[in-house]
Structure 1
Amino acid sequence: MRNLFAFIYRFRAFLIFVLLEALCIFLIVRYNTYQGAAMFNSANTYVGRVLEFQSGVTDYFRLASVNSTLAQENAVLRQQLMYYRQEADADSTDQLDTTYYAASDSSKSEPFILHAGRVINNSVRRTNNYLTLAAGSLDGVKPGMGVISPNGAVGRVKTVSRHYATVTSLLHSQMLISAKIQKDNTFGTIKWTGGDYRTALLDYIPLHIKPEIGDTVVTSGYNTVFPEGIMVGTISEVERELDKSFYTIRVKLAVDFAQLSYVYVVENPRRPEQDSLEVEAGILPHE
């Protein structure tokens, strides 16, 4: 306390000067309209900059929460988009042939549910690549569900815990995806054979078909994992070998697996019914 009084006494002249200056500025701003307005505008400018900086810092630390919210909203919107597309397809089929087709209420119900999940681990350089998602059984994720991104098909859920899930990536030697060439609905199988993580093979396209570079490849919808029409990629190379009865077709994948951040797990509520029926009919093996 003695040091404080000594400091004030030592700089008393300067402190009195500062106090009088502050009092003068207050009186000028308080009782002069022009100076008051100028001071008010200047103060608002600096305060606004400080608040903008503070808001920027706060928003930066809230990015994870904001991204998670946006991913969940996008999942709902993408789910609705798939529903409207299927309704449009059903309506067009009705118009083409009303005698042999009538869309039932069940066919117009929403068959797929999307669950947003953040990618927290990923690999693209191995022979068998996997992803880990920060979404588990508490979020509705189950083994066997398909996984897509905003750009296309990603893989299939392998194992699930309460809060996490591992996904067999499309970049896996044992991962097969039923796909088709969109322009003529010729279906085949997408398989990754290693090497470039942006390229896969489209197998079993017969030689009487005329695939061309740039043709779009999408999921066929012939299984219960992926909805029909999910983007897979575009044909980048077509090779016809004399000793084979199918083309060798390379597809540039639509998904850049090295840049994945958020994905959507696809739940098909009708899958158990279809799987049990196909097992009973001998189409699928018993698990």
Structure 2
Amino acid sequence: MRNLFAFIYRFRAFLVFVLLESLCVYLIVRYNTYQGAAFFNSASRYIGQVLEFKSDITDYFRLTSVNSTLASENAELRKELLQFKLAAQADSASRLDTAIYAPSDTARVAPYLLHAGRVIHNSVRRTNNYMTLSIGSADGVQPGMGVIASNGAVGRVKTVSEHYATVTSLLHSQMLMSAKIKKDNTFGTIKWQGGDYRTALLDYVPLHIKPVKGDTIVTSGFNTVFPEGIMIGTISGVAKEQDKSFYTIKVKLAVDFAQLSYVYVVENTRKAERDTLELNAGIQTDE
């Protein structure tokens, strides 16, 4: 307290000056219309800038929460879009003469659910690449479910804990994905052979087919992991090799695996029923 009084006594002249100046400014602003308007306009501008700066800082630290919310909303929208596309396929198939063509299971609407998750670990430079997601069994994720991104297929869930899941990336030497050429429905198998993480191979396309550079490759829908028509990539090269009955087709993948931040886990609520049926029948599906 003694130091405070000493400080006030030492700077008494300056403090009195500041007090009088403040009083003068108050009286000028209070009793003069023009000066008052100018003061409040300036004050509002500066206060607005301070509040905007504060809001920017707050929003920055809320980005994770905002992105999670947007990803969940996108998952719902993508689910509706997927169901709409499948419904359109089923509707177009039902209009055909069933004596000539009977709609297959892949043309019928299947109840797919999408679970949005953030990628918290990812690799692209190894022979067998994996990623880790920030969602798990508590969010409805189970091993074997497919994983897609906003622009294409990503991989398949390998293991799950309560709040996390690991995913076998398409960039894995043992990962096979049933695919087809969109323009003519010729199916094959996508496999990554290492090296460039943006390029894979489409195997088992017979020589009587005429694939060309630029053709779109999508999921075939022949398994319970991925819905039909999910983008995989585009053909970047086609070659015929001697003593082989299939083309060697290079596919430029639609997904840039080095830049994944959010993905969607695909839940097929009829997967268990179909898998059990095919297992009992001794049918092996290429997923």
Tell me, yes or no, if the aligned pair for 1:275 and 1:284 is still in contact at 8 Å: no
Q: Distance in 1 between matches of 2:158 and 2:205?
A: 28
The one-letter code of the counterpart of 1:87 is: A
Q: Would you say 1:174 and 2:174 are equivalent positions?
A: yes
- Helix, strand or coil: the match of 1:35? helix
Structure 2 gaps of 5+ residues are none
CA deviation after TM superposition for structure 1 residue 284, in Å:
3.1
What is the aligned partner in structure 1 of residue 275 from structure 2?
A: 275
C-alpha change, 1:232 and 1:109, in structure 2 (3 Å) is closer
Which residue of structure 1 lines up, in the alignment, with residue 217 of structure 2?
217
Distance 1:228 1:7 in 2: 80
Counterpart residue number, 1:140: 140
**Letter matched to residue 209 of structure 1:** I
Deviation at 1:110, TM superposition (A): 5.1
- Cα deviation for residue 92 of structure 1 reads 2.3
Q: 1:48 to 1:98 in 2, by over 3 A?
A: farther
Q: SS where residue 4 of structure 2 aligns? A: helix
Q: Distance in 1 between matches of 2:98 and 2:108?
A: 16
Contact 2:90–2:109 at 8 Å: present in 1 too?
Answer: no
Deviations 1:38-91 (A, max 9, x none): 111100111011001101111111111111111111110000000111122222
- Identity over aligned pairs, percent: 76
What number of residue pairs does the alignment pair up?
282
- Seen in structure 2, the aligned counterparts of structure 1 residues 92 and 109 have a Cα distance that, compared at 3 Å, is closer
Separation in structure 2 between the aligned mates of residue 253 and residue 174 of structure 1, nearest angstrom: 17
Query: Which residue number in structure 1 is paired with residue 255 of structure 2?
Result: 255
Distance 2:216 2:69 in 1: 31
Shift of 1:101: 7.6
1:27 is aligned to 27
Residues 1:188 and 2:188 aligned together:
yes
CA distance in 1, matches of 2:259, 2:208: 37
Deviation per CA, 1:132-187, whole angstroms, max 9, x where unpaired?
11111000000000000001000000111111111110000000000000011100
Q: Quote the Cα distance in structure 2 between the aligned partners of 1:266 and 1:80.
A: 13
Q: In the alignment, which residue of structure 1 is the partner of 2:73?
A: 73
Match of 2:82 in 1: 82
Inter-partner Cα distance in structure 1 for 2:28 and 2:169: 71
Q: Distance in 2 between matches of 1:249 and 1:260?
A: 25
Q: 8 Å contact 1:201–1:251 — kept in the other structure?
A: yes
In the alignment, the residues of structure 2 paired with residue 6 and residue 283 of structure 1 have an alpha-carbon distance, to the nearest angstrom, of 94
Unaligned runs of 5+ in 1: none
- Is residue 89–residue 108 contact of structure 2 (8 Å, CA) maintained in 1? no
Conserved? CA contact 2:86–2:109, under 8 Å: no
Residues 1-287 of structure 1 aligned to structure 2 (within 5 Å)? 1-97=1-97, 111-284=111-284
Question: Secondary structure at 1:85's aligned position in 2?
Answer: helix
Structure 2 Cα separation of the partners of residues 162 and 148 of structure 1? 21
The 10-residue stretch of structure 1 (93-102 or 154-163) with the greater mean CA deviation from structure 2: 93-102
Q: Does the residue aligned with 2:242 lie in a helix, a strand or coil?
A: coil
8 Å contact 1:178–1:188 — kept in the other structure? yes
| 1:174-204: CA deviation from partner (whole Å, max 9, x where unpaired) | 0000000001110000000000000000000
AA aligned opposite 1:192: W
Instruction: Measure the CA separation in 1 of the matches of 2:110 and 2:189.
Output: 26
Shift of the 126–20 alpha-carbon distance from structure 1 to 2, 3 Å rule, reads same
Report the more deviating stretch, 9-18 or 37-46: 9-18
Q: Structure 1 residues 28 and 272, CA, compared in 2 at 3 Å: closer, same or farther?
A: same
Partner-residue secondary structure (3-state), 1:50: helix
Letter in 2 for 1:249: I
Corresponding residue SS for 2:243: coil
TM-score normalised per structure 2? 0.94
Shift of 1:102: 9.3
Give the Cα–Cα distance (whole angstroms) in 1 for the partners of residues 61 and 133 of structure 2. 21
Tell me how far apart the structure 1 counterparts of residues 11 and 19 of structure 2 sit (CA, whole Å): 12
Describe the superposition over 1:88-133 as per-residue Cα deviations: whole angstroms up to 9, x where unpaired.
2222223444777899xxx876510000111111111111111111
Deviations 1:194-234 (A, max 9, x none): 00000000000011111010110000000000000000000
Q: What is the CA RMSD across the aligned residues, in angstroms? A: 1.7
